[in-house]
Amino acid sequence: MASSKCIKCDNTTFEMKEAKITGSNFRMMFVQCSRCGGVVGLTEFMNAGSMLERISKKLGV
């Protein structure tokens, strides 16, 4: 299986970092290289799926 690597420095370890994006009303999380900080992905700060699951359980649905 192929190993994911940073396109900037070829590092193979990554980290999540909270990002405040100008003009956005929501916080986001960058998936970034743990060595050089190059951003390789973006995801929501809050996981909408898990929030909906908790709400659904409280509603008994």
34: Cβ contacts below 8 Å, ≥ 6 apart? 11, 13, 14, 15
pLDDT confidence of residue 16: 95
Residue 61 confidence (pLDDT) above 80: no
Q: What is the pTM of this model?
A: 0.67
Distances from the Cα of 51 to the Cαs of 29, 54, 55, 58, in angstroms? 17, 5, 6, 11
Give pLDDT tens digits for 11-55.
999 999 998 889 988 889 999 999 999 999 998 888 888 889 999
pLDDT confidence of residue 6: 94
